[in-house]
Each structure stands twice: as C-alpha cells, then as structure tokens.
Amino acid sequence: MLEIQEKFGTEGYEELVRRSAGYELHITEALDGGQAVGFIAYAYKPDKTVIFDYDDGGELMLCDGLVRSVLFKSCLKGIETAVFNLPDEKKYENIRRLRFLEQGSITAENIDSFMNGCQNCKHNEN
C-alpha cells in the first residue's frame, strides 16, 4: 500500500540540502511496502513554500499526490504561494499538466482556493 510520509531527516538527500542552502529542507517520501518510490523536497518561508525537487518515478498520479501533500500542509500553515525551483525544465511538464502551474510560470498563488476547489471536482458535471 502506498503511503506519503514526511521524512524527519535529510540523510540520502545531501545534494538537495546543498542546493537549498539557506532553507530548512523538508522531505516527504512516497513509500510502498516501506521502500521509498518517490519524494518531494521543499521548504517553508513565511510567505511561500519553495519546492526544490521531486521524483515520481514517471507516475503522474504520484506526482499529483506528492505536490498536493505539500500544498495541503502549506495551507495549514496559512501559506498561499508555492514557488517551484526545480533543477530540470522537464520536471515542470507534469506540474503544468496537472495544472498546478500555468505555462511559463513557476509560481502557484492562492493555493488555498485551489485546494478547496478540488473538493468539488468530483461533483463537477463539465
């Protein structure tokens, strides 16, 4: 069974720690049978969440779950903006495909409205 859990430590993610210099890095992993099959690395600032990298193993739905978990936690902290600072331009493709970002943008704003809007998606007949 797939679980998404915050990892309380950064061991194994030393390169990301270096790349995120000046930020307190958080890692959330997707676990399947206790084995990490994906991750997302991010940091909170008072006015934004910065997402530094993710690995979804090529699974679009895993990408969706990882990003939503971080956006949800950001909402709980009262943070309305997420900035994607990804190392590879190709990684933005899935983020835009899932409509977290508009074409040409690296910033998602009003994430609370976005997350609350998703509650009604299953009831949307369009």
Q: Is residue 13 part of a domain?
A: yes
pLDDT at 126 over 70: no
Give the three-class secondary structure for 111.
Answer: helix
Mean per-residue pLDDT of the chain: 89
Tens digit of pLDDT for each residue in 37-88?
A: 999 999 999 999 999 999 999 999 999 999 999 999 999 999 999 999 999 9
How many angstroms separate the CA atoms of 121 and 111, rounded?
A: 15
pLDDT bucket at 114, cuts 50 / 70 / 90: low
CATH number at residue 116: 3.40.630.30
CA 59 to chain centre: 14
Domain count, the chain: 1
Q: Could you tell me the residue range of the domain that residue 39 belongs to?
A: 2-121
Q: Is residue 126 part of a domain?
A: no
Q: What is the pTM of this model?
A: 0.87
68 vs 15, 22, 28, CA distance in Å?
Answer: 24, 24, 11
Q: Is residue 59 part of a domain?
A: yes
Q: Is residue 56 part of a domain?
A: yes
